[in-house]
DNA sequence: GAGTGGTCTAGACCACTCA
DNA sequence: GAGTGGTCTAGACCACTCC
């Protein structure tokens, strides 16, 4: 059940959940609806609190949320402002390839090259923090964007005991992460990535339809569950036209 | 002046600043000192509040801060735990190359190839949100790690009126960002990056001491000030041995 | 000085986990 | 049921910006 089933604050349409999330969603809707232009100020926190009949702290939590996503930014003593479009569109999620493609307005596709049991090597065992020879599942896929091959993904998964991945269901859902969440109760929560450039190996080149030795973007990823247990190690290769976008926020110096 | 000049909470050694930052720093010190192992629980929020003589909300703010940095994680109903080492070391800052090198235990170096006035092209004007033919500064550098070339950085900077970059000072500081902050009052705050793989052009290859056509990691970056004004556009090229590390947190699905 | 966001408090209650 | 983190409140005061 949700936090408050009925809404004592009539102004917040979006269904259940914490008040500050509802408020953040409402505000974001207003911004996307074009009620405000870039760098325009929002109403003051105290005013928002009054007009939505919530405490100022709840307003601040909602604004914090939007700020983390790059939707707004606050300046001490001046106000809170709408972030420029360019920033708003680059909030960095732990997105599946499928969702990312949709956000970019493309049509995602995939071709499953391999789906089979595997045993952990020493290296994999170390990355996934399991014993060597633990049972894993290997999943190798070719990813397509608008029908054109753009990437190769080679995953090693550590599933809950007894769980399996059914090829047909994966093909139906299109997204591995959706399948993990919805069918296996595994919730990816954050991941660590390391990127560099490599030369295409012959087999990679053939699948991606590029010349052997041509440059590819290589990305290694360890995905962690909400309890910080590694659940996936994935090696990826992307063609040069595929752009990996990220937003680095906060500043570490004083 | 700081928030509270004298410390009514004797337990928080670190100098001034908000209480919750002092508390976060204190806790982080304890974690790094090895008082806790990975996935070990911290004291409950109410207990921390009592022992540090602060409100529970202040404790929560400190923990939020550490959680964003990947130092700890909280599970509803279970407790707050120390994050695994691998996550702790990958908190993603807007680091200068110089600071990043130090964090990785290497010795950074640079060779200034070009430092000259430039005028904005249409493309640059659009990226930096200025008029075409606005006055910019172009800075092209070869970056070294332990004496070996690892990257090329080609920056176009939009400086405050009248400000200039002095070659000797940049060489002395080693870090462009430090110079911007400390000498010019410009505070980089967040940046948007786009990465892909490219083949090395002859001139790039010569500088980086690799073969022409070999794979390089290409990164384009727009840096924004605290008021979300673009202050820098930078194109970078890195050799394959240079690894770009990032941490993607939060999950966008329900 | 008026208005803004930033910090801090004390207390209440809800939701979740685990024994 | 005891203990944990998650949400919400109402009010106070501080720090900054701009007029």
Q: Which chain C nucleotides are covered by protein, judged by CB under 7 A?
A: 3-12, 14-18
pLDDT digit string, tens, across residues A56-95: 999 999 999 999 988 999 999 999 999 988 777 766 556 6
Report pLDDT for B6: 37
Last residue of a domain, one of A91, A113, A132: A91
| Closest to B74 (Cα-Cα) out of B52, B43, B51 | B43
User: Is residue A7 in a domain?
Assistant: no
Q: How many domains does chain A have?
A: 2
Does residue B131 or residue A144 have the better pLDDT?
A144
Q: pLDDT at residue A30 above 60?
A: yes
A228 vs B181: CB contact, 8 Å cut-off?
Answer: no
CATH code, domain carrying A75:
1.10.10.10
Q: Is residue A12 part of a domain?
A: no
- Judge whether B180 lies within some domain: yes
Inspect the interface and report whether the beta carbons of A198 and B197 lie closer than 8 Å.
Answer: yes
Is there a single domain that holds both residue A107 and residue A203? yes
Q: Does nucleic acid strand C have an atom less than 7 angstroms from the CB of A46?
A: yes
Residues A69 and A26 in one domain: yes
* CA dist., res. A16 & res. B162, Å (int): 53
Gap from A93 CA to chain B (nearest CA, Å): 6
Residue B111 lies in a domain: yes
The CATH number assigned to the domain holding A162 equals 3.40.1410.10
B9 part of a folded domain: no
A167 and A228 share one domain: yes
In a shared domain, residues A144 and A220: yes
Q: Who wins on pLDDT, A250 or A81?
A: A81
> Which residue of B lies nearest to A217 if distances are taken between CA atoms?
B197
Through-space distance between the first and last CA atoms of chain B, rounded to whole angstroms? 43
CB A44 under 7 Å to nucleic chain C: yes
The reported pLDDT for the residue numbered A95 is 65
* Interatomic CA distance for residues A242 and A215, integer angstroms: 12
Give the number of beta-carbon pairs within 8 Å between A and B: 171
- Do A120 and A36 fall within a single domain? no
Is it the case that residue A14 has pLDDT exceeding 50? Answer: yes
Domain that holds residue B54: 19-91
Do A212 and A232 belong together in one domain?
yes
Do B71 and B123 lie in a common domain?
no
A70 and A109 inside one domain: no
Q: Are residues A59 and A127 in the same domain?
A: no
Residue A150, H or E segment: strand A148-157
Cβ-count burial A99-111 (b if 16+ within 10 Å, e if not): bbbeeeeeebbbe
Q: Which two tokens stand for residue B224?
A: 């924004």
- Best probe of the A interface among B248, B250, B254, by most A CBs < 10 A, is B248
Same structural domain for residues A141 and A200?
yes
**Interatomic CA distance for residues A152 and A62, integer angstroms:** 38
b vs e for B3-21, b when ≥16 Cβ sit within 10 Å of the residue's Cβ? eeeeeeeeebeeeeeebbb
Q: Do A75 and B227 touch (CB under 8 A)?
A: yes
Q: A55 CA to D11 C1', in Å?
A: 11
pLDDT, mean of residues A219-244: 93
Check B245 against A92: CB less than 8 A apart: no
pLDDT, tens digit, 9 for 90 and up, residues A150-208: 999 999 999 988 889 999 999 998 889 888 888 888 888 888 899 999 999 999 999 99
Cβ neighbours, 10 Å, residue A166:
11
Residue A12's pLDDT is 55
Residue B169 falls inside a structural domain: yes
pLDDT by residue, tens only, chain B of 254 residues? 333 333 455 555 566 789 999 999 999 999 888 778 888 999 999 999 999 999 999 999 999 999 988 899 999 999 999 998 877 776 655 667 887 888 788 999 999 999 999 999 999 999 998 888 889 999 999 999 999 999 999 999 999 888 899 999 999 988 898 888 888 888 888 888 999 999 999 999 999 999 999 999 999 999 999 888 899 999 999 999 999 988 887 665 43
**0.85 exceeded by pTM:** yes
Asked if residue B4 belongs to a domain, the reply is no
- Pair B137, B166: CB distance under 8 Å: no
How confident is the model at residue B114, as a pLDDT?
96
Q: Which residue's structure tokens are 């063609």?
A: A239
Q: Is the CB of B75 under 7 A from strand C?
A: yes
Residues with CB under 7 A from strand D: A 3-4, 18-21, 53-58, 61, 75-78; B 1-3, 42, 44-47, 56-57, 60, 74-80
Residues A134, A120: contact at Cβ < 8 Å? Answer: yes
D6 closest protein residue (CA to C1'): B76
Which has the higher per-residue pLDDT, A48 or A183?
Answer: A48
In a domain, B155, yes or no: yes
Segment B185-238, tens digit of pLDDT: 888 888 889 999 999 999 999 999 999 999 999 999 999 998 888 999 999 999
Residues B98, B27 within the same domain: no
CA angle B206-A241-A71, nearest 5°? Answer: 110
CB atoms under 10 Å from CB of B189, counted, come to: 18
The answer to whether residues B202 and B151 belong to one domain is yes
Give the C-alpha distances (Å, rounded to integers) separating A225 from A177, B100, B246: 11, 27, 17
- C1'-nearest nucleotide to the CA of A43: C4
- Which band of pLDDT confidence, cut at 50, 70 and 90, is reported for residue A26? very high
């Amino acid at each position: 059940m949700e936090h408050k089933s009925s809404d004592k604050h009539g102004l917040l349409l979006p269904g259940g959940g914490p008040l500050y999330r509802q408020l953040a969603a409402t505000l974001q809707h207003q911004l996307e609806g074009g009620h405000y232009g870039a760098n325009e100020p929002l109403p003051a926190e105290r005013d928002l609190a009054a007009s939505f009949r919530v405490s100022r702290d709840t307003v601040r939590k909602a604004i914090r949320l939007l700020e983390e996503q790059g939707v707004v930014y606050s300046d001490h003593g001046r106000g809170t402002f709408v972030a420029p479009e360019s920033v708003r569109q680059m909030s960095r999620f732990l997105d599946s390839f499928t969702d990312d493609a949709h956000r970019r307005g493309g049509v995602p596709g995939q071709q499953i090259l391999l789906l089979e049991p595997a045993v952990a090597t020493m290296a994999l065992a170390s990355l996934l923090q399991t014993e060597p020879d633990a049972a894993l599942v290997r999943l190798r896929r070719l990813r397509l964007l608008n029908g054109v091959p753009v990437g190769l993904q080679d995953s090693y998964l550590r599933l809950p005991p007894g769980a399996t991945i059914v090829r047909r269901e994966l093909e139906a859902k299109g997204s591995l992460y959706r399948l993990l969440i919805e069918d296996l109760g595994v919730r990816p929560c954050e991941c660590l990535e390391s990127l560099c450039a490599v030369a295409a190996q012959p087999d990679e080149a053939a699948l991606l339809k590029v010349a052997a030795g041509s440059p590819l973007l290589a990305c290694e990823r360890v995905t962690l569950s909400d309890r910080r247990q590694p659940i996936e190690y994935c090696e990826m290769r992307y063609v040069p036209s595929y752009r990996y976008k990220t937003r680095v926020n906060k500043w570490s110096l004083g």
